[in-house]
A and B are shown apart, each in its own frame.
Chain A
Amino acid sequence: MIFNLFLIKEFKKYPFFFILISLTLLLGIFGIAGIGVVSEQVTSKLRQNAKELLTSDLVVSARRELLAEEDLSLSQIMARHPHRKYQVIDIYSMVKHVRTDQIRLVEIRCIEEGFPFYGHLSLKSGIFKTNGLYLSQDLSDLWGGQVGDEFKVGEKIFSNLGIVTKDTSQGLRGFSLAPRIYLPLSLVKDAGLLKEGSTGSYARHFRVPNFSQQDFLKLQQEILKALPDAAIRVTLPQESSEQTARVLGLLTDFMSLAALIGLILSLVGIFYLYQSHLISRLKDFCLFHLYGLSKKDIVLGVIGQFSIIFFSVVVGMSLLLIPIYEMVQSQLSSLIGMELATTLNLFELLKSMPFLYLLGVTILIPLLMGLLRTPMGAQLKAAKISLGTFRFYDFSPFFTILLSYSVYLSHSFKIGSLFFVSILLVLGVSTLVIKVTQIVFRKIFLRRPLNVYGLEIGLASRHLIHSGHKLTLSFLSLALGTTLISLVLQLDSLIQKEFTLDEKKPSLFLFDIQEEQLPDLLDFSRSFGVRLEGVTPLIRGRLDRVNGMKFTRVPENSTVRTREDEVESRTKNRGINLTYRAGLSPSEKLLEGEDFSSSKNENESLTFVSLEERFAKRMGLKLGDKITFDIQGVEIEGIVKNLREVKWTSFYPNFFVNLSPGAIDEAPKTFLAVLPKDFHHKKHAYQREIVRRFPNVSLIDVEELMLKLSSIFEKARQAIELISWLSLIIGLVILYGLSHDQVYRRYFDIALLKSLGLTAGQIRKQLIVEFGFLFILAASVGFLIGWLIAITIGIQIFKLSWSVDLYRMVVPAVSLSIMCLVTILVASWRAVAVRPRELLSDS
């Protein structure tokens, strides 16, 4: 019977309500589901191709060459299992295209015979072999490189044997910083590139036939035990695909959060629509109750009704997503730089549905509680039907689910909670602004005659003063949408500003400078009329003990991991690059503790240590901790004397760990250095000469790097902004619904005003004043909160400088307000055209 009453009859009687609810819900979940599906397509593709990505069954890698004893241990373990192996070293170096005389930093993949065990490299023509230099397609496009062209790599010149159009081991090409070339390891060594301390990734790949997944896991543990340095990773295909997916994961997490705003806005709309619907149905519900239906049955009926709508929407959306995905699949693939499957895996779509369903149901709880609190018998006698009141704590299940879902989507307690707090902030500020506005308006308008500032303003002010929570809902939906847009635009503005070449930033960043090359390089630079700045030694080491306790590797294969866990384990499980420096560099700021120069060394054997504050936090280190470093076999003991903040975007040589000069000065090292901005005009000539005279020294063109970073960020920003606008459009649709409903609730008021002599134009003017004020206020609040959140994130997380982009704040705020006004005018058009006859008793 309940099914009949709440579903069949209701659907027949109120088709418009159900269509509206379904559309609102569809708009809300479409963004999240769409992003979820694409993200899942990428992850599953990477999972399917895990072995091709890794190119082998197991990899032992580090950011340094294995020590002799480590190599021996590994060989002893592997000798027990029949296997094949090769080494792959990825390094960055300057490469010159001889024909065009162009030079740039390139990722060199140094390979050996047998590469790859799994997957393949396709050439424009011919077959890939590990016998010479091969150029990647993007580098070929960049330089116009052809087969047969010569390239100078290190001290040697190689002829290009082919152009690699597809490399199955390259995950997401869209996010790589430098184009790639392939060169046999022996030739790279001949070219003099692999020197002591060269920056790169050193990996030994193994193929072990007839091994089960269990065998590989056992082997992995065995190797990890034998090679205790946390900086050495032992990777299986599955972990490799997860690492690759992580790059895109961060972006999709943020996009999902932006889409979650759209969902919240649609839930605001659903709350409002259901409230109106329940009020209009209350009399019937009272009659159901009178004839024996319990309140619980009625509530269950409403939940059942919503559930049917939800599942119908999910089915409808799935059917919609298939053709949409097929349409955009090729564009998506080229954007990400990975060929995605042409068909959609809809099963994955269902994964996030329980959360979405719970969010939908819990937003209705306050209304359902109101229904349970309604004295149904008394309602039948009452002149005016009213739903029982709901209390603030009725929203707590919704907020709990929202917080959990935010964390789930962002894979981060920190980001998820920050997002949740921001939502609460917008909610709180919106409510506060509305209340304060009403109080101020009471003081300004209610003590004066209605027409003192013009009749239209008087009428609009009275509506603003006396409107209840519906006003707050309209305000909130706009404020939330604009907060999101503002956040994206302002954060982008802050980051773009940071990635702009200014006087403070260097023009070239040099690395892999060998110690013996330094005097010549300094002389060479002087002869070029420029002084090498920020010359800083780089020494490789590892953290061995903290306060006497052995520093152990953090397991990375736990199933439930937040982004913070990942960052922490990655930080802990990698080797450390150290430097020694007496004081702070210009881009560093002392946060805690004291400078080395003002510290007294009570224990001569202890070196002073300065740590970057976030590194210290992730590693769990604090002031006064005693740390033992293993610097290439030599133990150095230090005490943490200070924590400092580093402005990484300065592009000056900086390190997580700085030691006081003395203890490690003699350790094997390479040097980093920068060239100043005013050197900009001689940059290319300098680069050419460096490649000729110091072929192993690599240079990063800071301007080019910033452009590349900006373009990667721009891609991400565009994607997030697209979703943000989608959310805002949902907000506008909801606003349209709310405004439409509010105007229609004033149907009789409008008719009455017309019967009293007010023209349609005057009524529209009143609506423009009323809603215009509300929208401009909401947009201003949204943009201000968005900006505040942006600078908080910018300063706290990205360590950016404070700034405000007024253009990006005012222009969207004004255009949004205009869009909203158009929305309200469209929504109210028919209502304003009403004939006052509707007021009569027979209408």
Chain B
Amino acid sequence: MLSNVDWLDEKAAWPVAPPDPPPGAGTVAFLGDAALARMSDTNRSGTEGAATGAGDAAEPNAAARAAPEWVEHVTRIRDARDEAAFAELFAHFAPRVKAFLIRSGADGALAEECAQEVMATLWQKAHLFDPARASVSTWVFTIARNRRIDALRRQRRPEPEDLPWGPEAEPQQEDMLALQQDSERLAEALRALPEKQRHLIERAYFGELSHGEIAAETGLPLGTIKSRIRLALDRLRHALK
């Protein structure tokens, strides 16, 4: 059971005191649970959920592209070593990777160097990207995270067993699109969160949060994305038999 003592000191250091964790926070309320409940709601109302809200909000960055377009860029790198596609990906993602690394504690020079390495890894591993299981943002995040663990923590990063795509396991277009749209909805929902809740989640990912603080239900639509990934994994396992 969660003991308050573990994070009391950190709490004192907060500019704004976080909400107290609800009793039993460790076992009951968490991101995934609220999202799961929401997921069944979404399923009941059909595909409307995907169409409303997400994508309609004005993007501050005029050059921003929809998730499926980024997938196409990665495909162009994989199939044609397309440097123009890479330049566009670089313009969008490299500054984001750099900001992520700086927020995680890297100085500007190290963040710059690592961001370049992350983008080079994107090029080298383009053939491993699986658009039925991740958006390009998600994929770049995992590369950046691993680079951070390696560069800032000097630790190995054990990864799960690979599930290589067989020839017949090429992702289906509709699975891919659905997952990409889910990812956009998730990003939209994250942007729409109250400042305080988003701040808690950011702290978890930038590496300075205790779990009691994130116990609040945020209602992110994580459940749908999870079920899509599950579906892709099921198909893959089936194809590998």
Q: Answer whether A and B are interacting partners.
A: no
